[in-house]
């Protein structure tokens, strides 16, 4: 199994802490404290914070420090709606353009998802899930769509990761992945598009706990 880089470990832990509300919107993150907390050097912390800034979870302000972004619930829902449309388009195009090698990778990613779902390993599923979707994006044959979809997915990845902990979500997500993969392999463009779109839209409804948490944190921060 591939060893996860130290910066990824720090990033994942910080994602959890931010999305779970342990780091509040507007809170300043001290790199020195993070180095001590994770028992690592400055470089992994710096790389983790830069990755979180790209995803929109934190803001790095020159000469001021790094702060947790205060993302509103409405903004989050709007991003997921756009993500659903981009995912659907990518799946539709992939059903027409995917090659044999990419299709094999799609099935390998699906097997990884199944393995982690069976083990109830949400962190492992998180990475296999990202691989699965990445194959769909990369095989769509539209470079601009590929770039935009990857970019927005990075911004939403922490929230998609959190909803994997909702009871029975991994099993249902796996079923949705199978539908997407089958439609792409069969060249059924409309079915692939609808399945991929619904796969994202359903996640909005998984966020009742997240919405409650962020609403409470925003009230406390005001």
DSSP 37-99: HHT--HHHHHHHHHHHHHHTSEEEETTTEEEE----HHHHHHHHHHHHHHHHHHHHHHHHH--
Q: Domain boundaries in the chain?
A: 6-70, 73-206
CATH 3.30.1370.10 fits 6-70, yes or no: no
Mean pLDDT (whole number) for 129-153: 95
* Environment class of 41 (CB within 10 Å of its CB; exposed 0-12, middle 13-18, buried 19+): exposed
Output the pLDDT for position 123.
Answer: 84
What percentage of the chain has pLDDT greater than the value 90?
58
The domain defined by 73-206 folds into: 1.20.120
37-92 confidence digits (pLDDT tens): 999 999 999 999 999 998 788 999 998 999 988 766 778 788 899 999 999 999 99
Q: Residue 214: pLDDT above 70?
A: no
Mean pLDDT (whole number) for 153-173: 82
Output the pLDDT for position 203.
Answer: 80
Output the pLDDT for position 207.
Answer: 66
Range with the poorest average pLDDT among 103-107, 109-113, 149-153: 149-153
Q: Do domains 6-70 and 73-206 have the same CATH topology?
A: no
Do the beta carbons of residue 49 and residue 21 sit within 8 Å? no
Confidence bin at 180 (pLDDT 50/70/90):
very high
């Amino acid at each position: 199994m591939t060893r996860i880089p130290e910066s990824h470990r720090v990033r994942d832990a910080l994602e959890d802490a931010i999305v779970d509300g342990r780091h509040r919107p507007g809170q300043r993150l001290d790199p020195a404290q993070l180095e001590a907390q994770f028992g690592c050097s400055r470089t992994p912390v710096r790389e983790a914070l830069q990755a979180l800034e790209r995803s929109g979870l934190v803001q790095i302000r020159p000469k001021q420090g790094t702060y947790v972004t205060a993302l509103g619930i409405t903004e989050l829902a709007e991003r997921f709606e756009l993500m659903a449309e981009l995912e659907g388009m990518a799946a539709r195009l992939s059903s027409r353009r995917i090659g044999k090698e990419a299709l094999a990778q799609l099935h390998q990613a699906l097997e990884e998802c199944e393995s982690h779902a069976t083990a109830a390993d949400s962190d492992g599923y998180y990475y296999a899930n990202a691989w699965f979707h990445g194959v769909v994006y990369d095989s769509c044959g539209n470079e601009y769509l590929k770039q935009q979809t990857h970019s927005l997915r990075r911004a939403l990845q922490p929230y998609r990761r959190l909803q994997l902990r909702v009871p029975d979500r991994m099993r249902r997500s796996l079923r949705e992945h199978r539908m997407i993969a089958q439609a792409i392999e069969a060249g059924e463009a409309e079915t692939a598009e609808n399945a991929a779109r619904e796969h994202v839209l359903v996640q909005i409804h998984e966020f009742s706990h997240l919405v409650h948490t962020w609403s409470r944190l925003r009230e406390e921060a005001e």
